[in-house]
Amino acid sequence: MNVKSPLHSLQGRLLIASAVILPIVLLIAGIALSKAYNYSLENAVKDRLQLQVYLLLGAVELKEDHIIFPERLQEPRYEQVNSGLYAAIHDQNGKLLWRSLSSILLDDPKLSEVISLAGITTGEPLFEHKPDAGVFSFQLRIIWETEGKEHSFLFTVMESDELVTRDITAYEQQLIVWLGIIFLVALLAQTLILSWGLTPLRRLARDLKAIESGKADKLSGHYPDEVQPVTENLNELIESERKQRERYRNTLGDLAHSLKTPLAVMRGAELEEHELHTYQTLVAEQVERMDQIVQYQLTRAVKSHQKPLGKSVQVTPIIERMLAALGKVYRHKAVRTDVQLADDLLFHGDERDLMEVLGNIMENAFKYGHNRVCVSGTHLNDELKLSICDDGPGVTPDMRQVILQRGERLDTSIQGQGIGLSVATDIISSYQGEIEVQNSPLGGACFIIRFPD
């Protein structure tokens, strides 16, 4: 049993791509959210410590060279040992002038590591997070002037980072959980969206299967705008293929129909001619004609219905050859022919097409006429007009369009397939020409053909 890879499916490919890209996007989003949260917490700590420095500045007094503190500070955590909030004041030489009771457990070396005594510009605060010491520190150097003397003091306030670290850890854990939930929900939503979005393609596959099984002729129904051009092109392809198959079937019938006249000429010549050389010449001519017919019908089977390109051919010699051949086929009827052709009649197209059209219509005139056939041709107003008339029973007005359809015949007592006129009509249409059936001056039917230049 062959197991198909998910990469063979559009939905599988998109889901795999989503499963790869979505975690990366969520990871970047998680890092950005975590950094933003950390930044907001640190800014909050900075604001609190800055406020504490300003409170200390407001609480102390300077007398001569000494700083005097009130008995009790406004912030009670300064009086609680190891409360997490610490403060210290140093002079310009780095000597510790005062420290809060809460920092009593911090030895001087440890305190000196936390507090930056150098490199701090007067009036410019310095805020730092020192993870090794586990504190945030805010330092501010000021100049205090008394009795004409300037005294430099460094105020330092520190706060334990334990609460902030705990908040960050809890936030990151919650963030991971929620990002995981978002990933699963987004993947599920992506699956549903893909399933819904690819529904037209699955419906297209079902419709194509219905066409293949013969349950439908073409793709129908409304498809999304992105798929509609595909369905229209497929319908055109299906219709073109159907017409091509129809042409193949018709060509077989046309080929058999076209070969009848050369075969009839050969059979008639075999009964009439007595000289072997004359008969062999006639057979050779008809065999060549049959070969041309076969090649012509094979070409028609695959070409599209467009006006063929070709050089101009003389019409009169073709008609004369056909009349001579048909006279031999229908010699028992002793048909009299009347030819009225203008000089230099030209047909702008393939000679084989003209022979096929004239051969089918002229053979019908000989077949259904009694004993007279008239062929005339003129060239007027950039149009080649040919008329083939007979003295047969004629065609009633209501049947004149019917007989031009494939397989339709008026007289079923005479052997035939009823496809000759439809072949002629098909060829004439490919040249944007026209064919019509009228009453003949001889009393029968008159077929009028018009070819534009």
pLDDT band for position 260 (cuts 50, 70, 90): low
The pLDDT score that the predictor gives to residue 204 is 82
> Lowest mean pLDDT: which of 137-146, 161-170, 258-267, 438-447?
258-267
Poorest-pLDDT segment among 65-79, 216-230, 273-287, 421-435: 273-287
HEC readout, the chain: CCCCCHHHCHHHHHHHHHHHHHHHHHHHHHHHHHHHHHHHHHHHHHHHHHHHHHHHHHHCEEECCEEECCCCCCCHHHHCCCCCEEEEEEECCCCEEEECHHHCCCCHHHHHHHCCCCCCCECCCEEEEECCCCEEEEEEEEEEEECCEEEEEEEEEEEECHHHHHHHHHHHHHHHHHHHHHHHHHHHHHHHHHHHHCHHHHHHHHHHHHHHCCCCCCCCCCCCCCCHHHHHHHHHHHHHHHHHHHHHHHHHHHHHHHHHHHHHHHHHHHHHCCCHHHHHHHHHHHHHHHHHHHHHHHHHHHCCCCCCCCCEEECHHHHHHHHHHHHHHCHHHCCEEEEEECCCCEEECCHHHHHHHHHHHHHHHHHHCCCEEEEEEEECCCEEEEEEEECCCCCCHHHCCHHHCCCCCCCCCCCCCCCHHHHHHHHHHHCCCEEEEEECCCCCEEEEEEEEC
- pLDDT per residue over 190-204, tens digit each? 888 888 887 888 888
Dist. CA 382–CA 89, nearest whole Å: 115
Confidence at residue 65, expressed as pLDDT on a 0 to 100 scale: 66
Percent of the chain whose predicted confidence (pLDDT) is above 90 = 23
- State the pTM of this model: 0.49
CB-count exposure of residue 453 (10 Å: 0-12, 13-18, 19+): exposed
If one compares 229 and 388, the residue with the highest pLDDT of the two is 388
Residue type, 107: D
Average pLDDT over residues 382-391: 92
Lowest-confidence region among 60-64, 100-104, 337-341? 60-64
At residue 338, the pLDDT reads 92
Residue 410: pLDDT band by 50, 70, 90 thresholds? very low
Question: Picking from 27-31, 169-173, 288-292, which range would have the lowest pLDDT averaged per residue?
Answer: 288-292
pLDDT at residue 229 tops 70: yes
User: For residue 105, what pLDDT band results from cuts at 50, 70 and 90?
Assistant: confident
Neighbours of 211 (CB within 10 A): 16
- pLDDT of 402 over the 90 cut: no
Tokens of 38: 């950390």
Which one is predicted more confidently, 291 or 176?
176
pLDDT digits (tens, 9 = 90+) for 10-28: 777 788 888 888 889 989 9
Per-residue b or e along 71-110, where b marks 16 or more CB atoms closer than 10 Å to that residue's CB:
eebebebbeeeebebbbbbbeeeeebeebbbbbeebeeee
Q: Give the model's pLDDT for residue 257.
A: 57
- Summarised one tens digit per residue, pLDDT across range 368-385 is 898 899 999 999 888 999
pLDDT value at position 1? 46
What are 272-316's pLDDT values in tens digits? 545 555 666 666 666 666 666 666 555 555 454 445 555 788 999
CA neighbor of 41 nearest in space, from 141, 170, 145:
170
Tell me: the pLDDT tens digits for 142-162? 888 777 678 888 899 999 889
What is the model's pLDDT at position 69? 76
49 — pLDDT class (breaks 50, 70, 90): very high
Task: Give me the residue label for tokens 């409360």.
Answer: 83
Q: Is the pLDDT of residue 39 over 70?
A: yes
* Residue 195 near residue 11, CB atoms below 8 Å: yes
Query: Tell me, what's the pLDDT at 304?
Result: 47
Residue 340 pLDDT level (bands cut at 50, 70, 90): very high
Look at 244 and 4; give whichever has higher pLDDT: 244
Greatest distance between any 2 Cα atoms in the chain: 157
pLDDT mean over 431-449: 91
